[in-house]
Amino acid sequence: MLILEVNILIHLKISKVKKLLFLIILLPVYLTAQETPGSIQFWKQLKIHCGKAYEGTITAGGKEGDGFLGEKLVMHVRSCEGNTIRIPFFVGKDKSRTWVLTLGEDNRILLKHDHRHKDGTEEEVTQYGGMSPNTGLADIQFFPADQHTSTLLPLASTNIWWFTIDKDSLSYNLRRIGSDRVFSVKFDLSKEVETPSAPWGFEK
C-alpha cells in the first residue's frame, strides 16, 4: 500500500518539497498501522515453549495450609492448537488445574481456569477468569474478573490476573483489589524439566 501511494505521489504535479512533507507524515502513520499488537507478540513468545515444562517458585503470597507452600510447582505448555493454548499447572501431586488462554478475533486474550476432579469431571468452582481489556503489551497481559467469575465467586469480583514473560521467565500473578489477597509464581524458562503426565481429565 505504501509503495502504491508513493508511486501516485511521483506522478502528481506537486513540488518536491510538498512530496517530501507528505511522505514524512505518511510513513509514521503507515508504520503504526502495521505494528504487531502486543497480544500477538505475547502469544508468539508463549508458543515458543509449547511442549515444554518448567519449574516455578512462589514470589508473593503463599502461606501454611494453602496447598502451595512446600510443593513442587510445574507448568507445562501442553498444547497450542488453533487459537487456544492449554497450560496445566501442577502443584505437587495435584493435577487439577489448567490455564486456558484463547486468542480472539479482536486480538484480545481470554483466560480461564479449568479445574477437574481425578475422574476428569469439572469441579464446582471452575472456568473462572476474564478477558484482557485491550491488546496489552508483548511482555504482560492483564485479565480482570469477568461476570461469570463474579457470579461464581462474589469475593473474586475484583480479581485481576496477569502473566509476564521474557526470554528467561514467565510469571502467573493474582491480585484481589481492596484486599491483601496476592499470589505470584515465577517459572524459570531457561531450564526445562521433565514433562509431566496429563492433567486430570485429559489422559486420552
- pLDDT band, very low/low/confident/very high, at 5 (cuts 50, 70, 90): very low
Summarised one tens digit per residue, pLDDT across range 31-74 is 444 589 999 999 999 999 999 999 999 999 877 656 788 899 99
- CATH class of the domain defined by 39-192: mainly beta
Q: How far apart are CA 37 and CA 190, in angstroms?
A: 26
Q: Residue type at 189?
A: L
What single-letter DSSP state applies at residue 171? E
Summarised one tens digit per residue, pLDDT across range 157-195 is 999 999 999 999 999 999 999 999 999 999 999 999 999
| Percentage, residues of the chain above pLDDT 90 | 75
Could you state, in order of their start, the residue ranges of all structural domains in the chain?
A: 2-35, 39-192
Burial of 157 (0-12, 13-18, 19+ CB in 10 A): middle
Residue 124 grid coordinates: 464446582
Nearest partner of 66 among 87, 39, 92, 103, judged by Cα: 92
Q: How far apart are CA 165 and CA 163, in angstroms?
A: 7
- pTM of the shown model: 0.81
Q: Residue type at 37?
A: P
